[in-house]
Amino acid sequence: MAKGVLVIFDQNNGEIRHVVLEMLTVARSLGDGPVTALTFGKDARNTLDKLAEYGAEQVLFWDGDAYARYSSDGFAAAIAEAVPELGPDVILFPATAWGKDLSARLAGVLKAGLATDCLHLEAGEGGRVKAVRPVYAGKALAEVTVNTPVQMFSLRPNVNAAVPAPATPEILSISPAVDSAAFQAVVVERNEAQGGVLELTEADIIVSGGRGIKAPENFKLLDDMAQALGAAVGSSRPVADEGWVPHSYHIGQTGKVVSPTVYFAVGISGAIQHLAGISGSKYIVAINSDPEAPIFKVANYGIVGDLFQVVPRLTEEIKTVKAQQ
Amino acid sequence: MKILVTVKQVPDTATKIQIRADGQGIQEDGIKWVINPYDEFAIEEALRIKEKQGGEVVIVALGPSRVEEAVRQSLAMGADRAVVISADASVDPAAAATALAAVCGEEGFDLILTGKQAVDDDSAQVGPMIAANLGLPQVTVVLKLEVDEAGHRLRAERELEGATEIVELPYPAVVTAQRGLNEPRYPTLPNIMKAKKKEVRRVSMDSLSLALEPRVTVNRLFAPPDRPEPTILSGEPEETAKELVRLLHSEAKVL
């Protein structure tokens, strides 16, 4: 079968993450073979319209009972069985918890090279894709190539544009014979975060608080500002370590690495490990009472002042601007 | 239970990373080397399981001679002994996983624990690749781990984007640790002294006779683009707030 790019991702109730559209856009730019999309589970077929809109030429929906519950070993074995028939030279995954789990497993099974969390991919010489990925949480960038016949990459969300290019996908019926009874690690339960919490790694705007916030109850100020902006709320490490916010808020080298359009650092001085985690932000806005704080060195805009004075006024101004739109 | 914890030594996260002029690596002088922070959660979890259920905790590390320090620290936390594979620091994740899997397989174990990723190359591959190599199930980015010894099964909570999920699996298995799993202990002085006498077995990479051609090649490292000169506002909160929103709206066009 023709070579091409196989794009593998998860779906939830027929909904796909924005990164899937970014992956399809990148996949189209990579080669001459077809772009094939593969997803799993009961509502897989409900993703067809979106996949068509973003240029998938072939789609595979593994929606049988065997794929109702995610299993890293089970799914990897099934994909590995289908790969020879599909014959992709490139396989893309989202660099999400799901994608990192499955891509590394599949790379192990296929004995293929995998570059994790790539920012950019481009077609290079001899059919080798040139990838750029952050190392040391973005303190440096690495240009890498994968040497194996199947080249695997996971793509960081929120970095590449998603550009529609309507296609009429052919629905392929390749379906490996799998016995889900042999799946070992199986998801038995999924718990969504409580109401309306925006995921930091996919957020367009983030409002983040540090020690300058002084007390956990003062995070209310940031919640209000985030709500006015439609933003996610994050934090620096010390604040999460103190237990003022859950660990899932922690942004930095040992927490979430984020790439929003705008990152508001409120009362965050800017430790090296925090700056690493936000270096992918397009605009950094710092609000801090200390004009010498390192955060101002990486900021596009800054306010030197008392956050307790500044933030409520910012929230009001933002509401005013939003109301005019 | 016999638990192996694979450990990597990495630059402390407070380290400023300087790229070598040839782009083929980072400048190592002046770097403070530490146990990969996520591996610390793995060590702590292994020790807690051992304290509850008995057994042995063995550190398996891979790297140049400097990893000895991280290994001794792991032993000072309470691990029983260690195996160190001497290797060049720049082996790719697949080669590291192949070598670690070979040594783990030879050691024998009930459980392999490691960090969800190392904070140097951020690949997040070695754990799952060890599992794939050994034909074992895996669960990654784990926030909570329950061991059912009678049923020989694990129940793990893992972190997703904006959600968590519960995974059940039999063991032997590979589990990778996320921040939040536990609070790693600090080594006590008596344990630091004891660690000096604990067994560290050295294995050379060559003696494993493995095919370890790199599957991923790093062509060059380079610095991220410089950030533009900042616009810093100071003065009356009312004024600065108003001006900032104006700049974000009209200049950056992001509001």
Question: Tens of pLDDT along A6-16?
Answer: 999 999 999 99
Sequence letter at residue B237? P
Look at A304 and B228 and tell me if their CB atoms are within 8 Å.
Answer: no
Give chain A's radius of gyration (CA, Å): 21
- Is A221's Cβ below 8 Å from some Cβ in B? no
Task: Lay out the sheet containing A301-304: strands in order across.
Answer: A232-235, A205-209, A262-266, A283-288, A301-304, B231-234
Minimal CA–CA distance to A59: which of A122, A7, A120, A16? A7
Over range A51-59, report the average pLDDT.
98
Among candidates A117, A144, A305 on the partner chain, residue whose Cβ is nearest the Cβ of B237: A305
What local confidence, expressed as pLDDT, does residue A197 receive?
65
How much of chain A exceeds pLDDT 90, in percent?
Answer: 92
What local confidence, expressed as pLDDT, does residue A192 receive?
86
Residue whose structure tokens are 């799914």: A75
Beta strands in chain A (DSSP E): 5-8, 35-40, 58-62, 90-94, 113-118, 120-123, 129-135, 140-146, 151-155, 170-171, 186-192, 205-209, 232-235, 262-266, 283-288, 301-304
Q: In whole angstroms, give the CA distance from residue B137 to residue B147.
A: 15
Q: What is the pTM of this model?
A: 0.95
What local confidence, expressed as pLDDT, does residue B212 receive?
87
pLDDT confidence tier of residue B128, bands split at 50, 70 and 90:
very high
Beta strands in B161-244 (DSSP E): 163-170, 173-177, 200-204, 216-222, 231-234
- Is A260's Cβ below 8 Å from some Cβ in B? no
Chain A: nearest CA to B3, how far in angstroms? 19
- pLDDT of residue A1 exceeding 50, the answer is no
pLDDT confidence tier of residue A3, bands split at 50, 70 and 90:
confident
Among candidates B37, B218, B255 on the partner chain, residue whose Cβ is nearest the Cβ of A142: B218
Over range A82-106, report the average pLDDT.
97
Furthest-apart CA atoms within chain B: distance in Å: 69
Lowest mean pLDDT among B81-90, B186-195, B237-246: B81-90
The answer to whether ipTM exceeds 0.90 is yes
pLDDT confidence tier of residue B239, bands split at 50, 70 and 90:
very high
Contacts of A143 in chain B (CB under 8 A): 218-222
- Number of residue pairs across A and B with CB atoms under 8 Å? 280
Minimal CA–CA distance to A7: which of A140, A121, A130, A128? A121
Q: In whole angstroms, give the CA distance from residue A70 to residue A80.
A: 16
Mean pLDDT of chain A: 95
pLDDT confidence tier of residue B194, bands split at 50, 70 and 90:
very high
pLDDT confidence tier of residue A2, bands split at 50, 70 and 90:
low
Query: Which of A204, A278, A301 should we substitute to test contact with B (largest number of B Cβ atoms within 10 Å)?
Result: A301
- pLDDT of residue B13 exceeding 50, the answer is yes
A50 by DSSP, 3-state: which? helix
What local confidence, expressed as pLDDT, does residue A196 receive?
53
